[in-house]
Structure 1
């Protein structure tokens, strides 16, 4: 009789050792993802997706493609998450289509729908637009989708996107304004852990759209004049810089915190 346990290296009560093949495969994929990300050209415009952030200086650093602090580049895990979020749009769009919605997500030439202003220095690209569907709502309607981990998803379900994720709300308002889609937008959030789908209508907030548009102008004009916009924090130990929870909101660590508070502005 074969002793299937003999020499297995398994010690009861401890976690199973990670097979060398698992480490090798993960390392190969991570290396490829990192190389692909480094090969991508940085954006040369203010993106609508980040204008709702608290710190104007951070938005300006992003617009100018200022090098991030050492170790603050996108980790392979983050690159995986971003790609999964992009693929999630295709999954959810497919669900809507088989349910009978007329959802447009790209132009005939395959490009995304979007807008640009300030001579191309301010841009935004939408996930899609509902032209019609089996649900009673006003059409056409902007569609914005996010794939979230469980705790973030629950926050959105509990509080709504405008409170739980104001950066997303700012993005939606800008799209509604610039693409002339004033009807309530349909925001969907996919729980990456359970594949549950949350849907809510986001009313057009003209004030927020104008505020965010003014921010874009401010970032571009200050950058052209060689001026640095003010920080939102008063010191490097602030949550906005080092990351963490503040006033019920989660802030990721700023990728330029050391540069911002160091010798260079």
Structure 2
């Protein structure tokens, strides 16, 4: 028989108390995530992860650690998504190894495999390299993994990473070039909502790798000469600036849109 006496736990107001606990716990976690993020040392080099973005000035601002506009720094929700991506990568790596692949993700000293160019001002770190395995692909092969939301994941499955996510395709091409892994890369995409896994082979695009490498040189030289690179957009309302979908691609809003449009074109 249900006990409705005081102290039984089945009292009026219990839902409000539960809601307060949820809010308090999440607030504490969000504060910890922000503290940890702000304590991370700034990156002082051009990274492969964002070199495929359309606007060179945005890449330059990111490389120089230019302060973001007020209220445009990463929110806790975004930091949670980043964390899910990192955790998802570890899970997929475990799945791949369990399937019998020889996957190398770290050096003997625990560091990720990667490359450094232009006196350390252009760098990239790979998710891993497949040395052997039960599937008949050409080894060694670059392995690159992304954890995506359901809609984004479905678009990758439908159109392939090269068409759906050109920023990822640029990153893959650069890794293949600089780490001398010309065989088709294995790209895996984890659906964060369902934990379904998509896999596809990405042939090496030497022309794309060269274009992206040239962009890195452009950014580094501009930084050395304290030159402001041009923005790609002609109007502040461009989706590259404010965020949104243009054609077949989604663009996140620029974190420096206010600063950028106060400066020269």
1:67 aligns with 2:72: no
Q: Do the aligned partners of residues 83 and 6 (structure 1) sit closer, same or farther apart at CA in structure 2, a change above 3 Å counting?
A: closer
CA distance, structure 2, for counterparts of residue 5 and residue 18 of structure 1: 12
Taking the TM superposition and a 5 Å limit, the aligned residue runs for 1:34-49 are 34-49=34-49
Cα displacement (A) at 1:7: 2.1
Q: Evaluate the alpha carbon distance shift between residue 252 and residue 118 of structure 1 in structure 2; reply closer, same or farther with a 3 A threshold.
A: same
CA pair 190-184 structure 1, distance change in 2 beyond 3 A: same
Distance, in Å, in 1 between the alignment partners of 2:23 and 2:13 is: 18
Change in 2 beyond 3 A, CA 1:18/1:150? farther
Q: Can you give the 5+ residue segments of structure 1 that lack an aligned partner in the other structure?
A: 11-15
Distance 1:131 1:26 in 2: 42
1:38-75 deviation line (CA, Å, top 9, x unaligned):
11111000000000000000000011110000001111
1:53 equivalent in alignment to 2:53: yes
Match of 1:182 in 2: 182
**Structure 2 CA distance, aligned partners of 1:48 and 1:217?**
12
Following TM superposition, where does structure 1 have runs of at least 4 consecutive aligned residues deviating by more than 6 angstroms? none
Matches within 5 A, 1:29-178: 29-178=29-178
SS at match of 2:73: coil
Say yes or no: does 1:7 pair with 2:12.
Answer: yes
How far has the Cα of 1:264 moved from its partner?
7.5
Distance, in Å, in 2 between the alignment partners of 1:258 and 1:235 is 12
Q: Which residue of 2 aligns with 1:230?
A: 230
- Gap regions ≥5 residues in structure 2: none
Q: CA deviation at 1:2?
A: 3.1
TM-score normalised by the chain length of structure 2: 0.95
Give CA deviations for 1:163-199 in whole Å, capped at 9, x if unaligned: 0000000000000000000000000000000000000
- Count of aligned residue pairs for this structure pair: 260
CA gap of 1:33–1:9, structure 2 versus 1, over 3 A, is closer
Q: CA deviation at 1:6?
A: 6.0
- Seen in structure 2, the aligned counterparts of structure 1 residues 9 and 132 have a Cα distance that, compared at 3 Å, is closer
* Structure 2 Cα separation of the partners of residues 254 and 120 of structure 1: 26
Shift of 1:111: 0.3
Report Cα offsets for 1:138-174 as digits up to 9, x if no partner. 0000000000000000000000000000000000000
Q: Secondary structure at the match of 1:201?
A: strand
